[in-house]
Structure 1
């Protein structure tokens, strides 16, 4: 590939399905970026909560500073240590993948329960191997975080531009919750990437990412709309999946930064 591709944006989502954090740099690990989707909310049946059923989750905004995670919701704020957790293991699942997690603390679970209006717990995945995800395409099993499937989502800028040309109400990349946004030349060309390097890290493309109704949640308002899934399904539907962005895995640990070039 002769074009020069660079990293334009980096995001992490510390708590699954809550708002993300824009970063200038991030440390890539096997399970995903450091502090990316290591936490999630579960209900009384130990099932994970997402914006699909609770679009209001997009209104909880995390920040990380000095080893502490603070969550802002409306005019309220709650804080806990990134390292704290209780000892009792909890068996849960992220879709079909079994996972072992632990509750952060009782007060944090209570705070989220009060804001959402029903009982829930904030839990954390502790170590690599506590959840495994099998790739039928690569015939490999990966140690992953609490993300829906794979540790990283890569999106090219032209993919969003091409979609916005078709939408009456333009949207931002935040709808798709990427980890890495790169400058691109052609819409959806990232689907065809194989292996490549960014900064210190080698990545491998697994497969394009099938999207769900969650991309229709306006993250600024927490309201489900009809777009962009309706428009995407007209030109990005394959079998029963609507694709946008591509799932990738890291082959080693290291730092990547905004401005880094993608080397093939």
Structure 2
């Protein structure tokens, strides 16, 4: 008999706001899973670019193999090495957090610019500490990659099931871009998880995650709809923030796998 609380799905999102990759196992690191949101697109003002402004970004699909990342968009593909980057640093930011980044290469930036229809660069975060985020909840500072605020997002299965009971058009967990999906007993109980272990890794819950318009982007079509934010706001609005899933950090590095038990 399998444990009630166990890992059902694992995801990484190598390039911020592009589609994710489903994994059977992943290496947890301080900044998030290995290769999770270590890259992002920035515009001519060095401001990060996301699905909030460009829903079509959900239609870019990454794959990782043999030290390379391949991006598929429509009928075209582009490839670059995980390790490559130019040597000139760029000062960018994710929201209020300043970040030192490096352009991957000019050819990759041109490919994305052509596909998206505006000038942009693909940049990489190159070291731990290149971006720091101060938590409004704990007042502590965390080393993060290009996630909006925290290295990991965890969601319980019952939270999605409870939401889908209220929606006419059912959605998948991909709308919420989790890193870890765990089986649960009741909706949103993950909000109250404190410290817990999965596989080799000890995690700590920081706070429930406030959601934005991006969850209304249908990842299969790249089209913004009214749901699920409209329905969620009716029963998950806390202090003008619509909550779904919870932000967590890892206290050590290690491997977690689908099927691992969540140990409290």
Report the TM-score when normalising by structure 2: 0.99
* Aligned residues: CA RMSD: 0.6
1:128 is paired with a residue whose SS is: coil
1:225 corresponding residue in structure 2? 225
Task: Give the secondary structure class of the aligned counterpart of 1:110.
Answer: helix
Cα displacement string for residues 191-211 of structure 1 (whole angstroms, at most 9, x for unaligned residues):
000000000000000000000
User: What is the distance in 2 between the residues matched to 1:41 and 1:133?
Assistant: 19
Tell me which residue corresponds to 1:242. Answer: 242
Aligned 1:163-174 pairs, distance under 5 A: 163-174=163-174
Q: Could you say which residue in structure 2 is the equivalent of 1:59?
A: 59
How much has 1:221 moved relative to structure 2? Answer: 0.1
For 1:194, the equivalent position in structure 2 comes to 194
How many angstroms does 1:4 deviate by? 2.8
**1:33 equivalent in alignment to 2:68:** no
User: SS in structure 1 opposite 2:138?
Assistant: coil
Deviations 1:70-114 (A, max 9, x none): 000000000000000000000001001000000000000000000
User: What aligned pairs does 1:65-214 form with structure 2 within 5 A after superposition?
Assistant: 65-214=65-214
| Misfit runs of 4+, over 2 Å | none
* Corresponding residue for residue 19 of structure 2: 19
**CA shift digits 1:40-66 (9 cap, x unpaired):** 000000000000000000000000000
Whole-angstrom distance in 2 between the partners of 1:215 and 1:135: 22
CA distance in structure 1 between the aligned counterparts of 2:254 and 2:216, rounded to whole angstroms: 33
Once residues 159 and 4 of structure 1 are traced to their aligned partners in structure 2, the CA distance between those partners, rounded to angstroms, is 15
Distance 1:224 1:84 in 2: 34
Q: CA deviation at 1:239?
A: 1.3
- 1:9 is paired with a residue of what secondary structure? strand
- Match of 1:174, SS state, is helix
Q: 1:42 matched to which residue of 2?
A: 42
Aligned mates of 1:249, 1:188 — CA distance in 2: 18
3-state SS of 2:85 partner: coil
- For structure 1, the residue ranges without an aligned partner over 5 or more in a row are none
1:130 deviates by 0.1
SS in structure 1 opposite 2:150?
coil
C-alpha distance in 2 between matches for 1:163 and 1:136? 27
How much does 1:135 deviate? 1.0
Superposition deviation, residue 138 in structure 1: 1.4
TM-score where L is the length of structure 1: 0.99
Structure 2 residue matching 1:137: 3-state secondary structure: coil
